Amino acid sequence: MDGQVKESVTHIGQRNLDGIRLPIYLDNHATTAVDPRVLEEMLPYFHEKFGNAASCNHEFGWTAEKAVALARERIARLIGAKAAEIVFTSGATESDNLAIKGVAEKYRSKGNHIITAVTEHKAVLDSCKRLEKYGFRVTYLGVRRDGLIDLEELRRAIGGETILVSIMAANNEIGVLQPIVEIGKICRERGVIFHTDATQAVGKVPVNVHGQNVDLLSISGHKMYGPKGVGALYVRSGVPAVELSGLIDGGGHELGMRSGTLNVPGIVGLGKACAIAAEEMAGEAKRLAGLRERLREQIMGRLDGCSVNGSMEQEHRLPGNLNISFADVEGESLLMGLNDIAVSSGSACNSGSVESSYVLKALGVSEELAQSSLRFGIGRFNTEAEIDYAAGRVVETVKGLRELGSLGG
């Protein structure tokens, strides 16, 4: 048995007969490789420039502080914000928690109602569920078949007690881009704070917090070719400024919103990743959308019984995202058959049981189709040759499983 398992595993770095490096990584919504230019800029801050950015009495601290300030400016420039509006965190999960719980505690005297959507990331959904235990009321908006919320439903849901709306900019599974500008306008008209988890959007599509009427925005480094373990939260200043109660006490760092010694190497990396995105995003988005369409056409042109999940309209989908359901295929067998391609499935293993994606089910996708769905996350380092190979392997595997199913039936 052990020998059989070992034979079925494709080792990282192995090459096939065409010289393609296997396995192929097509899971860039889960995480991305650190761009070599980002790594190069980070390295000195691990050893040569290792100072604490809060140490204000010597050059080591000053050097670290300058590096953090530059990163703040780079991040702010990418999203159309001011440097002083950027609060560093350990990642988007912490940013989401700080935004939602920070608003809830700070504005509880004004109301106890929060609005979000059923397709949000767990960091948002679980934060809202925790607040429900403390007496907050949460409305979970449904989505249409294309994955978009109904703006009229949002308008109807806002009441006198509503203090926060949290709707993600881009969905991590189906790549759907919500109408952030319109959502922000509705919130501004009603005097409600608007938070968006923009983890999957920043660096991939244009984001402008002022043009899109955003009050709070979450960012993560490792989704945009930066390091893991670092993120940021945009907190709108001005009149009236958004105020947050901090979750982590202990030194008053980051204007009291997030205490703790700053992760200077990580922050430098996030800043560099944002600087690269600011320069290359438009060209990269066009290239990735082309690769995505190449993959979609090759798969769906050669297979029947396939359906794309989520809107395929250009303005409502991330350029590098493709989520497809395959009829008459068992999900686990499909993944096992594609052991030389790193993708995500439409199911997850929780407490020993396989559960279908709650995002796909919210779109009305059946349990069976949800479990036989694949999410392809195409990224900066993927090539046409890899896309062609992946498409061929998907077609080959699905056809093979369907033939086995028909024989077994």
CA distance 33 to 223: 9
Based on the domain organization, do 261 and 343 belong to the same domain? no
What is the rounded distance in angstroms from the CA atom of residue 146 to the CA atom of residue 329? 23
CATH number (domain holding residue 349): 3.90.1150.10
| Domain endpoint, select from 240, 255, 275 | 275
Supply the mean pLDDT for the chain: 93
pLDDT digit string (tens) for 116-130?
999 999 999 999 999
Is the pLDDT assigned to residue 65 strictly greater than 50? yes
184, pLDDT greater than 50: yes
Do 364 and 404 belong to one domain?
yes
Assess whether 239 and 187 both reside in one domain.
Answer: yes
Indicate if 145 and 267 belong to the same structural domain.
yes
Separation between Cα atoms, residue 283 and residue 277, nearest integer Å: 10
CB 84 within 8 A of CB 237: yes
Active site residue 128: no
* 219 and 268 inside one domain: yes
pLDDT > 90: percent of the chain: 84
Looking at 250, 275, 300, which one is the last position of a domain? 275
Residue 378: domain span: 2-34+281-408
**Strand ranges for 180-276 from DSSP E:** 193-197, 216-220, 231-235
CATH number for position 112 = 3.40.640.10
Distance, in Å, from the CA atom of 270 to the CA atom of 344, rounded to the nearest integer, reads 25
Per-residue pLDDT of 124-155, as tens digits, reads 999 999 999 999 999 999 999 999 999 999 99
At 19 the pLDDT is: 72
Do 208 and 315 lie in one domain? The reply is: no
Q: Provide the strand spans (E) within 171-285.
A: 193-197, 216-220, 231-235
- Shared domain check, 164 and 74: yes
User: Which of these three, 225, 252, 275, is where a domain ends?
Assistant: 275
Residues 304, 256 within the same domain = no
Question: What's the pLDDT band for 41 if we cut at 50, 70, 90?
Answer: very high
Q: Are residues 267 and 319 in the same domain?
A: no
Cα dihedral 69, 73, 74, 76, rounded to 10, equals 130
How far apart CA 199 and CA 164 sit, in angstroms, is 19
* Co-location of 368 and 244 in the same domain: no
Torsion (CA) 167, 77, 381, 334 in degrees, nearest 10: 0
Query: Exposure pattern of 103-132 as b/e (b: 16+ CB <10 Å)?
Result: bbebbeeebbbbbbbebbbebbbebbeebe
* 224 band by pLDDT with thresholds 50, 70 and 90: very high
The pTM for the full model equals 0.93
The answer to whether residues 230 and 334 belong to one domain is no
Does residue 11 surpass a pLDDT of 70?
no
Count of domains for the chain: 2
Phi and psi torsions of 123, nearest 5°: -60, -35
In a shared domain, residues 82 and 209: yes
CA 275 to CA 388: how far, in whole Å? 31
- Nearest 5°: the CA angle 278, 284, 290 is 155
CB 95 within 8 A of CB 126: no
| Band of residue 92 on the pLDDT scale cut at 50, 70, 90 | very high
Q: Which of 56, 128, 187, 349 is catalytic?
A: 349
CA-to-CA dists, residue 384 to 2, 335, 340, 341, angstroms: 35, 22, 16, 14
